[in-house]
Amino acid sequence: MEVMEGVPPVINLTEVARTEKEEFEKKVSELIIEFGAENLLACMQCGACASICPLARVGFEWYNKKLIKAILIGMKEELLDDSTPWACVACNRCTEICPRQVSPFEVMFAMRRLMVEELAISTLAIEGDRSLYEHGHAVYMTGREARKKVGLPEKPPTTDSDEKALQELRTILKNTKLAELGLIPME
């Protein structure tokens, strides 16, 4: 996924508003709120979140503060094309310090959820989900040798070694949005 460095040189708010109204069913801000960032509108763009955001620090374009602003304006297309939310380390330091309890982290993740719903993500981003479904582990390596080396049984006592539990997990996943979206093949 390409990181989109930049915003159009001039933001045409009328066009943004028109697109938002005419081309989408819902406003971006409404969607983001629905996807979990309930306090989105309270943001006053103070920038505290950006001051400690690792993404802002290493130079991502749409870090928390700017992402929120773009959402508030109603920009959608530009945001769907960008990968910044997927770089969020979920460190949640922003949540800790946000004076308006907006939880910028939640906005980032709501944006991810929106992108997922719009299928505006690369297949790599859904690898974790596939792995979760298949093995019960997002990070799954065979790694058996290492376990043996340190004196542990080859398989940990997780879904990895417990078929019934894996089926339970799959049942759960099948009842979530993940299944609705059809992002990954589920039997």
Partner 1 sequence: MISETVSETLKEKLKFGLFLGCNIPFNRPDVEQAMRKIFPALNVEIDDLVGQSCCPSWGTMPSVDVVGWCAVAARNLCLGEEKGIDLMAACNSCYGSLNEARHKMLNNPEIMNKVNEILAKIGKKYEGKAKCRHVAWVLYRDVGLEKIKESIKYSLDGLTIAVQPGCHFLWPSEVYPDKEEDPFNPKVLRELCKALGADAPYYTKLIDCCGMGALRSTNPEKSFTLVKEKLECIKEEIDADLIVTTCSSCLIQLDDAQERLRKEGKISFSIPVLHYVQLLALCMGFDPQQVAGICVTPRDEIIKRILESGKR
Partner 2 sequence: MSDKDIRIGVYICHCGENIAGAVNINEVAEFAKNLPDVAVVRDYLFMCSDPGQEIIKEDIRKGLVNRVVVAACTPRTHEPIFRRACEDAGLNKYYFEMANIRDQCSWAHWHEKEKATEKAKQLIAAAVAKARLLEPLEDRYVELNKNVMVVGGGIAGIFAALDLANAGFKVYMVEKNPSIGGNMAKLDKTFPTNDCSACILTPLMVEVANHPNVELITYAEVESVDGSVGNFKVKVRKKQTYVDWEKCTGCGACINACPPKARVPDEFNEGLSLRGAIYIQFPQAVPKKAVIDPDACIRCSGRWFGEEPRRTKDGKPILAPCEKACPTGACSRDEPRDPNGELIELNVGSIIVATGYKVMDKKQFKEFSDSPNVITALQMERLITATGPTEGKLIVPSDIPKYLEWKKKVEKGKEAELEARKPKVITFVSCVGSRDNRYHTYCSRVCCMYMLKQAMLLKEKYPELDIYMFFIDVRTPGKDFDEYYMRCRNLGIKIFKGKVGGVQKLPDERLLVKGYDADLGKPVELISDIVVLATAIEPNTDLKDLARKLGINVGAEGFLRERHTKLYPVDTMTEGIFIAGCAQGPKDIPDSVAQAKAAASSAASLLAPGKMKVEPLISEVNPEKCTGCGICVELCPYGAIEMVEYNGKRKSKINETLCKGCGVCAAACPSKAITLHGFTYEQVVAQIRTIAKKGVIEEV
- Shortest Cβ 119–partner 2 spacing (Å): 26
* 79 Ramachandran zone, left/alpha/beta (phi>0; psi -120 to 50): alpha
> 12 touches which of partner 2, partner 1, none (CB within 5 to 8 A by kind)?
partner 2
- Binding-site member from 5, 26, 34, 44 for partner 2 (CB under 8 A): 44
Site string for partner 2, 1-20 (x = CB under 8 A): ------xxxxxxxx--x---
- Shortest Cβ 134–partner 2 spacing (Å): 41
Locate 101 and state its tokens.
């309890």
8 Å CB contact between 68 and 104:
yes
> 122 touches which of partner 1, partner 2, none (CB within 5 to 8 A by kind)?
none
> 157 touches which of partner 1, partner 2, none (CB within 5 to 8 A by kind)?
partner 1
State yes or no: residue 41 binds partner 2 (CB under 8 A): yes
Distance (Å) of CA 126 to CA 22, 120, 122, 137? 30, 11, 7, 13
Locate 147 and state its tokens.
């376990």
8 Å CB contact between 85 and 111:
yes
- Binding-site member from 28, 60, 65, 76 for partner 2 (CB under 8 A): 65
Nearest to 31 by CA among 83, 71, 79, 77: 71
